[in-house]
A and B are shown apart, each in its own frame.
Chain A
Amino acid sequence: MRKEFVRIMRIWSQTLLPPVITSSLYFIVFGGFIGSQLAPIDGYSYMQFIVPGLIMMSVITSAYTNTVSTFYFAKFVRNIEEILVSPTPDWVVVAGFVSGGVMRGLMVGALVLVVSLFFTHLAIFNIAVLLAVILLTAILFSLAGLINGVFAKGFDGISIVPTFVLTPLTYLGGIFYSIEQFPQFWQNVSLANPILYMVNAFRYGFLGITDISLWICFAVLLGMSLFFILVVLYLFREGIGVKH
């Protein structure tokens, strides 16, 4: 874990800066130019409405790409063997990689939050919900990145999922709109997207508004995290992707 932190700090310019720049662009383009043309949602300006989602989005992508790339790289240069020959229990190894992803996710999230304050003002409605949601989300996507890293067979394999699954899901996850603005059919489709629940619960933490009940959001987050933990521990026990 300390090792992860050191690694992150060493390459912070690569790992922390790009997400912040991307988010700033979103703020300017969507929040600033387009948002000024849109009607307020639930009494909040469009900018205020999208900020929680944008923070969430950067946390998700950062946590995910951190674990998938660290794990894949360790596998690629065989450095993972240092751990495999040692008696380190699987759960500790998982915790190490996941905490690296969580740390990077939260650091990026915090930076995006700071940047967003240049564009709008934010009140915090419920800090406990806010922190719990962001932490769980970071854990969940770190785990997901780890699973991806286990199966990745090449450098392509670490970018396919983020590009073709993660990005569309985050875009459709209610970051830029409230699903109540959708026709019923698309509302139902959206409900199948786990990211929707996280974005809504997170937005609740800031604004106190959500499309979905908080309990369901937390159930989805906890349920998925638990499921991913079990999957990861199984993959590690069998040595899938690392032991021939």
Chain B
Amino acid sequence: MPAVSVKNLRKVYQGGAEALRGVTLEVEEGDFFALLGPNGAGKTTLIGIVTSLINKTSGEVSVFDMDIDKNRSLAKTCIGLVPQEFNFNIFEKVEDIITTQAGYYGIPLVQAKKDAEPILKDLGLWEKKGETSQNLSGGMKRRLMIARALIHHPKLLILDEPTAGVDVEMRHSMWNFLRRINAEGTTIILTTHYLEEAEQLSRNVAIINKGTILVNEPTKQLLARYGEKNLEQIYLDLIKAENI
């Protein structure tokens, strides 16, 4: 069963910007999927539509075979989202941010507190649980967004540039964390501008440019096809060829 299936998805924003021009894409259950593309390619728009933050113009989206138009709330329970931009309630403390989010998924407070502990510990935030999000560093905020996205144990975790502004050491520990939850069965979709990260982590990769998918295949296969080159060089070639 595909974790996400997108068919012929189009998005035209109100100002007329055409962000997605007929995107068709499938992400298998259990996959570690990297969605790559330059600034303004349409990655966040695609993610926004899958997570019900943005209304689509046309096309079909389903999550674990549940159409997001017909079965929206069930589809939503399967997804955890780590958005590109911070969107915390700036007055709330770390632990409250997590338990409030749990509440939106119908998890009682006592349960949420219990569930939050291992997640916060895994992400190195346990000592900061009484801090307001304002007092966290940029990298800690990123990790807090991951913790928040995991509190309802989603089958699919979507991360929109989770490692932006995260230091090298922390990035590596984040990678390990993501590898681990992927091995435990969580499907992961990741966008990033660090091509090395995508190369290291992903099993499948798609490159999107100006709202169109250029490439969508297993990462190994793509790398093999181009012989010596690494993912970053392949990416640059593809985007350059497209922009001529």
Contacts and interface: CB of A to CB of B under 8 A. Distances in A.
Nearest to A238: B55
Q: Taking chain B's interface residues, is the majority helix, strand, or loop, or is none over half, making it mixed?
A: loop
B135 interface: no
A10 B101 CA distance: 20
Interface stretch (B87-95, B165-173, B179-187): B87-95
Interface residues of B, number: 29
Interface string A44-85: 000000000000000000000000000000100111011111
B77 interface: yes
B244 interface: no
A157 B195 CA distance: 43
Interface string B72-95: 111011010101011111110000
B89 A77 contact: yes
Interface stretch (A86-94, A126-134, A136-144, A194-202): A86-94
Interface in A220-244: 238-239, 243-244
Contact of A81 (B53, B74, B90): B53
A244 B14 CA distance: 8
B52 to A, nearest CB: 6
A101 B87 CA distance: 23
Interface string B88-113: 11110000000011001110000000
A85 B79 contact: yes
B55 A85 contact: no
Contact of A85 (B14, B74, B76, B100): B76
Given A244-B13, A244-B14, A84 B52 contact: yes
Contacts of A87: 72-74, 76-77, 104-106
A150 to B, nearest CB: 15
A3 interface: yes
Contact of B87 (A7, A82, A239): A82
B81 A85 contact: yes
Nearest to B13: A244
B26 to A, nearest CB: 21
Nearest to A73: B89
Nearest to B109: A2
A244 B45 CA distance: 10
A82 B90 contact: no
Contacts of A239: 55
Contacts of B86: 78
Contacts of A7: 91
Contacts of A244: 13-14, 48, 54-55
Given A82-B101, A87-B77, A89-B73, A243 B55 contact: yes
Nearest to B101: A82
B51 interface: yes
Interface in B22-77: 48, 51-55, 72-74, 76-77
B58 to A, nearest CB: 15
Interface of B: 13-14, 48, 51-55, 72-74, 76-77, 79, 81, 83, 85-91, 100-101, 104-106, 148
20 contacts: A77-B89, A77-B90, A78-B83, A78-B86, A78-B87, A79-B87, A79-B88, A82-B87, A82-B100, A82-B101, A84-B52, A84-B53, A85-B81, A86-B101, A86-B105, A87-B76, A87-B77, A87-B106, A243-B55, A244-B13
Given A87-B104, A89-B73, 9 more contacts: A3-B100, A77-B89, A79-B88, A85-B79, A85-B81, A86-B104, A87-B74, A87-B76, A244-B48
